[in-house]
Amino acid sequence: MIDEMEPAPKGTDYDLYFGPAHPGSGNFGVKLKVAGEIVVSARADPGYLHRGFEKLMEYRTPIQNAVLSDRLCVLEPLNWNLVHAEAVDELMDIDVPERAKYIRVIMAELSRIQSHIIWYGVFSLGTGFDTGFKMAFGYRDYILDLFELITGGRVYPAGYICPGGVRRDFPNGARDKILKVLDKMGEMIKLEELENPALGARAKGVGILKVKDAIRLGATGPVLRGSGMKTDVRKDEPYEIYDRLDFEVPVRKEGDAYARYWIGIEEMKQSIKIIKQALKELPEGEVIDPSWKKPKLSVKIPKGEVYVRNEVARGEAAVYMVGDGGSKPYRCKIRGPDFLHMIPVLEYLLKGAQIADVPAIYWSLNICPADMDR
Amino acid sequence: MVKRSKKAKTMRKLIKAIWIFSWFNSCGFCELVPLVGSRWDMERFGMIIVGTPRHADVLFIAGYQTLKSIKRAKIIYEQMAEPKVVIALGSCTMTGGMYWDSYNTIKRLEDYLPVTMYVPGCPPRPEAVFEACEKIFGHVKELK
Amino acid sequence: MDTKETGLLDEIKSKFKVDGRVQREQRIWISTDGSKLMEVCKWLKDGGFTHLSAISATDWLKDGKYELTYHLWSYDDNILVTVKTKIDRKNPSIDSVVPVWEENAQIHERELHELFGVKFKGNPDLSPLFLEDQEDVHPFRKDFNWREHVREKFYNKENEREAVYYD
């Protein structure tokens, strides 16, 4: 396609800033050098949301950090809650009861479904399919009502998954409500699978990423699976109870924007399967380690270090925590998937693309600027 | 015929419909976008989101601001035409919120922009945003 | 007990003479000297550790050293190896691993240069990433007290509600 276009006349290059006030870009800026209709080079401009999380966590105790860890990525708060809680559990050697592990997995998978609904909605908005945007945000409210019933907050659960287990048990009737909501999600996925020809024409063959380049640039999660590599942290290194559950990992070989979008829809189906299995096998018992039931403000973190990896909706997330005998963590490094997707991968994919394809490529990577800047 | 001052006449034009330019920060994205969706539909009140500040009447600042992004917000405020209103959502605009000891976020929005109304919450619920808009309409009706 | 992890650790120890231990299954931790770092990294990358998960730095103020950690993951064996080295805190500089892991390492080193002040020799681009117009401030060092800095910069002593912070 690009070979057929004539090159632009000399002296007509210009700079274009695809910035934070653009309705299709989020809180992130990209500096583009454009010649005619083709992008010659791109440079990312991060830093609009930098709060310095890693040092904020050094001034607070682990139970206070559990509330702060929701806000690491605002589109999937419960998954990041889980990464931080697992790091503290492993460093301080806490035994988590069985019922708490099942509840943690159910809440994390509900949050993954909610995040993929947002991905579907904004990808449709970026390619001009307005009905998909309104429909997606209408269906997302069913899950937010469930979160309000169980944890108390629509968007931020206020540290529900804390070190030692979860804060409180399911209320009466939560189980039937979860099953009803899962039926509604199944209905929504059937509607999403009806292909819209305009979206297909804009997304197929655009933004192709091969496997070798993906590993060299550091991509993980759906971006790597869309290029053909079958890998998932829940299968390679199972945490919580994922080794007892039966689910598949969807993979596609083309590596373009349409393949990544299709993987998002398939992952929602697998999450529904996981939640139904976990609800059937849910055992009775306590939901939190007895010594952590009353929130303790002064704890003693032993000397040591851990590195915990999880699979959040966007890719691989990790926490590296160092303890030195005090009551606050000495160093807490957070590795998010978007740090790699938004700077090296985006600069590589935008080179040589047309201006009209920039939103389709940008939104197919499923970005969250808060995760990158921390 | 009721006699009204010039300011009251221009402000009453706002009652018909307000066009919003929203400067989403992360926390605002999660609670402002459902307002456009089908459950909390804001088009029935006449509110719509526009893509450029030159067409807008109301600026929503939703969430914490860093030193880098407050400079851009000031430029956007100057591009809007009179009469204009600024609504600040979230507790981070009032006192600094959860990031009160961070070196890169601002602690009070009124040091940088003239704010008309604050809506507390972390994040504020959609019903609270509608109540804030209703109070602005009521205040404009009583202007002399 | 002879497992995959202990076998790999013995191979590394015999070839390069470094310290190491196996923490649990799928986790190996190695400490080495700054001069042997590049050889160890090249050998590990050729042996299947193609994914660089993160590069991090810890500021040990009492010892006067920075400790850099490189976390590597292998997709074939499913093992995570961490390589740690210590460098001096007053003039921190070390060779860059960009020739081994290319763009993935380049962006991590750019972030560490801005937040801690570490100089990586051989990195093509070390310009500021997150902060604008705030050169020469390395905010994540342990001797930069955030609460005092925020009190001086943002709070007002004349205001009676905020004067309580100045007691």
Residues A90-148: pLDDT tens digits?
A: 998 889 999 999 999 999 999 999 999 999 888 888 888 888 888 888 899 999 999 99
pLDDT confidence bin for C165, thresholds 50/70/90: low
β-strand pairing of B117-119 with B85-89: parallel
| Residue B51 covered by a domain | yes
Q: By residue range, what is the domain housing residue C38?
A: 4-126
pLDDT for res A200: 81
For residue B14, the model assigns a pLDDT of 66
Residue B85 to residues A16, B20, B22, B113, B132, Cα–Cα distance (Å): 30, 10, 12, 11, 12
Distances (CA, A) of A87 to A102, C30, C71: 18, 20, 16
- Summarize the confidence of residues B106-132 as an average pLDDT: 88
Residues in chain A whose Cβ is within 8 Å of chain C: 46-47, 50, 52, 54-55, 59, 215-218, 220, 229, 231, 236-237, 305, 307, 309, 316, 318, 320, 322, 330-331, 333, 335, 339-340, 343-344, 348, 373
User: Is B103 within 8 Å of C132 when comparing Cβ atoms?
Assistant: no
Reported as a single tens digit per residue, the pLDDT across C132-162 is 777 677 888 888 888 888 888 887 767 666 6
C65 belongs to a structural domain: yes
Structural domains counted in chain B: 1
Q: Which amino acid is at C165?
A: Y
DSSP letter assigned to residue A159: S
Residue C160 included in any domain:
no
Q: Which long-range contacts (CB under 8 A, 24 or more apart) does A15-21 make?
A: A16/A355, A18/A358, A19/A45, A19/B72, A20/A48, A20/B69, A20/B72, A21/B23, A21/B53, A21/B72, A21/B76
Across the range A240-246, mean pLDDT stands at 89
Looking up residue B33, the CATH number of its domain turns out to be: 3.40.50.12280
Collect all residues with Cβ–Cβ distance below 8 Å to C31 and sequence separation of at least 6: C18, C19, C20, C83, C84, C85
Peptide bond into A238 cis (omega under 30): no
**Helical residues (DSSP H) of A13-97, grouped into ranges:** 53-56, 62-68, 77-92
pLDDT 10s digits, A323-349: 988 889 999 999 999 999 989 999 999
pLDDT above 90 for B34: no
**Predicted ipTM beyond 0.85:** yes
Q: Give yes or no for residue A3 having a pLDDT over 60.
A: no
pLDDT tens for residues C13-55?
Answer: 888 878 888 888 888 898 888 888 888 888 888 888 889 999 9
String of DSSP letters for B25-86: -HHHHHHHHHHHSSSS--GGGT-EE-S-GGG-SEEEEES--BHHHHHHHHHHHHHSPSS-EE
What is the mean predicted confidence (pLDDT) over A350-360? 87
Nearest to residue C78, comparing CAs of C29, C27, C12, C7? C27
Q: Which two tokens stand for residue A337?
A: 């998937």
Distance from CA of C57 to the nearest CA of B (A): 20
Which residues have a Cβ under 8 Å from the Cβ of C44 and sit 6 or more positions away? Answer: C72, C81, C83
* Beta-carbon contacts of residue A18 (< 8 Å; ≥ 6 apart): A25, A29, A30, A31, A32, A358
Determine contact: A9 vs chain B, CB below 8 A.
no
| Class of residue A283 by CB neighbours under 10 A (exposed 0-12, middle 13-18, buried 19+) | exposed
Q: Which residues of B touch A48 (CB under 8 A)?
A: 66, 68-69
| Residue A183 binned pLDDT confidence (cut-offs 50, 70, 90) | very high
Residues of chain A contacting residue B51, judged by C-beta atoms under 8 Å apart: 22-23
Residue B95 has pLDDT above 70, yes or no: yes
Assigned token pair, A36? 């005619």
pLDDT at A109: 93
Express each pLDDT in A290-329 by its tens digit: 888 887 777 889 999 999 999 999 999 999 999 988 889 9
Within a 13 Å sphere around the CA of A289, how many CA atoms are in the beta-carbon half? 16
Q: How confident is the model at residue B45 (pLDDT cuts 50, 70, 90)?
A: confident
pLDDT of residue A2: 54
Residue C135 has what pLDDT?
67
- With respect to residue C167, please indicate whether it lies within any of the assigned structural domains: no
Q: Which domain holds residue B38?
A: 21-141
CA distance C65 to B45: 61
> Phi/psi of residue A317, each to 5°?
-120, 145
Helix (H) or strand (E) holding B7: helix B6-16
In a domain, B5, yes or no: no
**Cβ pair A353, A60 in contact under 8 A:** no
d(CA C38, CA B49): 54
- Domain definitions of chain A by residue range: 51-373
Dist CA A94 CA A99 (whole Å) = 15
For A317, name the nearest residue in chain C, comparing CA atoms only. Answer: C53
Whichever domain contains C94, its CATH number is 3.30.460.80
The 3 state secondary structure assigned to A310-331 is EEECCEEEEEEEEECCCCCCCE
Instruction: Report H helices in A93-196.
Output: 98-126, 130-150, 174-192
CB contact under 8 A, A318 and C50: no
Q: For residue A235, give the DSSP letter.
A: H
pLDDT given at position A11: 77
The answer to whether position B3 is within a domain reads: no
Pairing of strands B48-49, B19-24: parallel
Q: What is the mean pLDDT of residues A205-227?
A: 89
CA distance A55 to chain C (A): 7
Q: Decide if C10 is inside a domain.
A: yes
Give the mean model confidence (pLDDT) for residues A42-54.
Answer: 89
Annotation: CATH topology of A51-373: Cytochrome-c3 Hydrogenase; chain B (1.10.645)
Chains with ≥3 Cβ pairs under 8 A against B? Answer: A, C
